[in-house]
Amino acid sequence: MDGTAEQPTQAEPPQITRRWDGDALFRTLVVLTGISVLIVLGAIITVMVTGGWKAFSTFGPGFFVTAIWNPVTQHFGAVAPVFGTLASSFLGLVIAVPLAFGTAFWLTALAPPAISSVIGMAVQLLAAVPSIIFGMWGFFVLVPVMAHYVQPTARHMFGHVPVLSALVSGAPFGTGLLTAGLVLAVMVVPSITAVMRDVFVSMPTVLRESAYGLGATRWEVMRQVVLPWSRQGVVGGIVLGMGRAMGETMAVTFVIGDSNHIGWSLFAPANTIASLIALEFPESPAGSLKLSSLMALGAILMAISFVTLWVSRILLARGEARAGKRS
Amino acid sequence: MTRPVFSQAAERPQRSSVLALRRKMIDKLATGMSWLAMLIVVFVLGSILWTLLKNGLPGLTLSLFTRSMGAPGTGGGLANAIVGSLLQTGLSILLGAPAGLLTGIFLAEYGADSKLARTVRFVSDMLLSAPSILIGLFIYMVLVEPFGHFSGFSGAAALSLMAMPIIVRTTEDMLRLVPVSMREAGIALGAAKWRVILFICVRAARGGIMTGVLLAIARVAGETAPLLFTSLGNSEWSLDMRRPMASLPVAIYQYAGSAYQDWMQQAWTGALLVTVGVLIINIVVRVGIRGGRT
């Protein structure tokens, strides 16, 4: 591409050298900036791993399988916060996916266009609200509701049922895994809805119309035409939401309850990797084993979130390739 | 799962068979659930905004903007946190926007589909969705620990790492929308490639690129996690970026967890300010995009 612009004017050497210099300089500049992005990510990974090295070498592989987090005895393990991260994100997704799917279905199939764009925008605005606001809302609005209504009711109803009683045991503090899951659900619903709406809309209209032409109801079109067609994109959007939920710090820190404990109870306080880092970091002096353990947890969180992003990209790219082929 | 036979119902619309009735009921049910889901989402959004307005508005006084943070009961404000947020967000955009712009140019104009460009694009997306607390931890290790103290600069650096990937993404997308004929016209006039890119393509795409910058501002202005370990927060008036610096989100975090009535009030008012600011930027951007397209 460069050559075609430069070659015809090679008869005038002085001007050309200067012009070519400008191009080479600019090219080098943008390539270097691009490479610097790679260096930043490389540096983040290096810093996390070397920072956590002390913990990895002190506890060995045991770091990954120990559920103890005890600053007094200087014994740290990753299992409790990893469990909290996965459990709260899983709960969040279980709540968020039906809501997002229902909203996306409503936006694409049921709503009048004018209202659809307004509600669609409102949902997108929800995605822009800073995460600390969700944390405050969760702590001051959701936690009292959980403590006064949801938890006592749940214990009253399921407290004596053999298996379910384990899920609802514990004091009704209002904070805990389920509350964190609810706040995370509210946070990831907008992004999952947006992805779902986009993949639903990207389906060729003729497919949708032929199904309607055969007399299918709106739900049948969604269930048997749109959903099978856009499955990969939908899953990609869900995985993307999961990545966001697992890395979320502020919203979770307010409502998770801060306890390094693993249990079946939905109402038990817990910790995620991100909330543990936010809460314990101020009490971790530089160079301490605790700080190193937090960095090691950071490395684990980074690995988890990169894997989920990678998976979601593959799924979304496949969905897009399919959209390109069919349309 | 039985697959409904569409033709049967269509042929006999008069005699609504059991199957047709069932299909209609299922459709009604799905429609109802969908309405319910939408209403829940809208209700939650309304609840968040209502809570913010109800708790935040009473604290919206002049002294909030004129006085610095103070001990409970002394009538402090949030002036230093507001200014700190503006300074750190501003500096982070000054650092992140040129880097993001150049990387976006690289991806759209030079890299195209090369292996390096695909890697950069993927890594930039990774940074975009990297947990923000890890960015804070990273900057702490590189910019805070070696220098021995927290600083506004390191806070801005952490925020710039969050702003950059957004600008990369929008710059690339917007440059790809610039018609090839404009580039060809520039090259035909004898302009060098870098001039064509900077003075034709970027200028043509400047509206979209500005959108990306605004969205980046909106995103980093509300971030708390990356600032906790970098600029730390500061209850005194300070414009020195080399020292710990207050910011609205961190001040909200400190105050919301306290037991003092006036601190709680300021936390809510601060939260209202941040949210309103972020939402206004988003609304302007979205309405602007729609206005520009049609």
Indicate yes or no: CB of B229 within 8 angstroms of CB of A110: no
Taking contacts as CB-CB distances below 8 angstroms, the residues of chain B near A101 are 37
Indicate yes or no: CB of B193 within 8 angstroms of CB of A5: yes
Rounded Cα distance between B246 and B259, Å, is: 20
Pick from B109, B131, B192: CB nearest A22:
B192
Rounded Cα distance between A313 and A224, Å, is: 25
> Can you read off the two tokens belonging to residue A299?
């490395």
CB atoms within 10 A of CB A267: 25
CA-CA distances (angstroms) from residue B191 to B22, B177, B234?
A: 69, 20, 51
Rounded Cα distance between B40 and B51, Å, is: 16
Mutation test of the interface with chain A: which of B17, B114, B149, B224, choosing the one with the most A Cβ atoms within 10 A? Answer: B224
> Can you read off the two tokens belonging to residue B26?
């299922």
pTM (2 decimals)? 0.89
What own/partner pairs with CB < 8 Å and gap ≥ 24 does A65-74 have? A67/A260, A67/A262, A68/A260, A69/A260, A69/A271, A69/A276, A71/A280, A71/A283, A71/A290, A74/A289, A74/A290
For residue A189, the chain B residue with the least C-alpha distance is B41
Rounded Cα distance between A248 and A245, Å, is: 5
Rounded Cα distance between A49 and A295, Å, is: 7
Pick from A19, A34, A129: CB nearest B192:
A19
Q: What is the CATH number of the domain that holds B175?
A: 1.10.3720.10
Residue B214, domain member (yes or no): yes
Which pLDDT score, from 0 to 100, does residue A275 have?
A: 94
> Please, are residues A141 and B43 in contact by the beta-carbon 8 Å criterion?
no
Residue B243, domain member (yes or no): yes
Which pLDDT score, from 0 to 100, does residue B294 have?
A: 35
CA distance B68 to chain A (A): 21
Q: Which residues contact B71 (CB under 8 A, 6 or more apart)?
A: none
Ranges of chain A whose pLDDT falls below 50: 1-11, 13, 19, 327
For residue A295, the chain B residue with the least C-alpha distance is B137
Residue owning tokens 């998976």: A311
Pick from A26, A122, A123: CB nearest B194:
A26
Three-point CA angle B74, B75, B78, nearest 5°:
120
CA distance A308 to chain B (A): 10
pLDDT digits (tens, 9 = 90+) for A223-241: 999 999 888 889 988 998 9
Residue owning tokens 């990369």: B168
CA distance A160 to chain B (A): 31
| Backbone φ, ψ for residue A297 (5° rounding) | -60, -40
CB burial of residue A283 (10 Å; 0-12, 13-18, 19+): exposed
> Can you read off the two tokens belonging to residue A116?
């659809």
| Backbone φ, ψ for residue B127 (5° rounding) | -60, -35
Secondary structure of residue B61 in the 3-state scheme: coil
> Can you read off the two tokens belonging to residue B162?
């969050």
Indicate yes or no: CB of A249 within 8 angstroms of CB of B131: yes
> Please, are residues A198 and A232 in contact by the beta-carbon 8 Å criterion?
no
Mutation test of the interface with chain B: which of A29, A30, A123, choosing the one with the most B Cβ atoms within 10 A? Answer: A30
CA distance B41 to chain A (A): 7
Per-residue pLDDT of chain B (294 residues; tens, 9 = 90+): 455 555 554 555 555 688 888 999 999 999 999 999 999 999 998 999 999 999 999 989 888 898 888 888 888 889 999 999 999 999 999 999 999 999 999 999 998 789 999 999 999 998 988 999 999 999 999 999 899 889 999 999 999 999 999 999 999 999 999 999 999 999 999 888 899 999 999 999 998 899 999 999 999 999 999 999 999 888 888 888 889 999 999 999 999 988 888 899 999 999 999 999 999 999 998 887 655 543
CB atoms within 10 A of CB A304: 20
Of the candidates B136, B190, B193, B188, the one whose C-alpha atom is nearest the C-alpha of residue B161 is B136
For residue B148, the chain A residue with the least C-alpha distance is A286
Residue owning tokens 């101020």: A282
Residue B220, domain member (yes or no): yes
| Backbone φ, ψ for residue B112 (5° rounding) | 50, -110
Of the candidates B286, B35, B47, B27, the one whose C-alpha atom is nearest the C-alpha of residue A104 is B35
Pick from A31, A51, A102: CB nearest B34:
A102
Residue B279, domain member (yes or no): yes
- Tell me how long chain A is: 327
Secondary structure of residue A11 in the 3-state scheme: coil
User: Dihedral (C-alpha) A263, A269, A273, A278: value to the nearest 10 degrees?
Assistant: -160
Residue B57, domain member (yes or no): no
pLDDT digits (tens, 9 = 90+) for A250-300: 999 999 988 888 888 888 899 999 999 999 998 888 888 999 999 999 999
Which pLDDT score, from 0 to 100, does residue A53 have?
A: 92
Secondary structure of residue B143 in the 3-state scheme: helix
Taking contacts as CB-CB distances below 8 angstroms, the residues of chain A near B141 are 47, 51, 295
* Alpha-helix residue ranges (DSSP H) falling in B142-234: 152-177, 180-188, 193-195, 202-204, 206-221, 225-228
Domain count, chain B: 1
Rounded Cα distance between A253 and B249, Å, is: 14
Residue B61, domain member (yes or no): no
Taking contacts as CB-CB distances below 8 angstroms, the residues of chain A near B111 are 34
Pick from B30, B51, B225: CB nearest A278:
B225
Residue B3, domain member (yes or no): no
CA distance A307 to chain B (A): 10
Indicate yes or no: CB of A129 within 8 angstroms of CB of B123: no
Indicate yes or no: CB of A302 within 8 angstroms of CB of B130: yes
Which pLDDT score, from 0 to 100, does residue A257 have?
A: 87
Indicate yes or no: CB of A139 within 8 angstroms of CB of B256: yes
Rounded Cα distance between A48 and A53, Å, is: 8
Indicate yes or no: CB of B48 within 8 angstroms of CB of A134: yes
Which pLDDT score, from 0 to 100, does residue A1 have?
A: 43
Which pLDDT score, from 0 to 100, does residue A325 have?
A: 58
* Alpha-helix residue ranges (DSSP H) falling in A248-284: 250-255, 273-280
Taking contacts as CB-CB distances below 8 angstroms, the residues of chain B near A136 are 252, 256, 267-268, 271
Domain that holds residue B107: 71-293
CB pairs below 8 Å between A and B: how many? 267
Secondary structure of residue B3 in the 3-state scheme: coil
Indicate yes or no: CB of A31 within 8 angstroms of CB of B130: no
Indicate yes or no: CB of A246 within 8 angstroms of CB of B103: no
Question: Would you tell me the crossing angle of helices B152-177 and A13-59 to the nearest 10 degrees?
Answer: 130
Of the candidates A150, A182, A184, A183, the one whose C-alpha atom is nearest the C-alpha of residue A168 is A150
Residue B18, domain member (yes or no): no
CA-CA distances (angstroms) from residue A273 to A78, A82, B130, B137, B228?
A: 8, 6, 14, 13, 15
CA-CA distances (angstroms) from residue B57 to A120, A203, B116, B272?
A: 27, 45, 51, 8
Q: Which residues contact A182 (CB under 8 A, 6 or more apart)?
A: A91, A92, A95, A138, A142, A146
Pick from B41, B133, B249: CB nearest A277:
B133
Indicate yes or no: CB of B224 within 8 angstroms of CB of A130: yes
CA-CA distances (angstroms) from residue A37 to A24, A32, A257, B44?
A: 20, 9, 36, 37
Q: In sequence order, what are the beta bridge partners of A282? A: none
Secondary structure of residue A74 in the 3-state scheme: coil
Taking contacts as CB-CB distances below 8 angstroms, the residues of chain B near A272 are none
Which pLDDT score, from 0 to 100, does residue B165 have?
A: 95
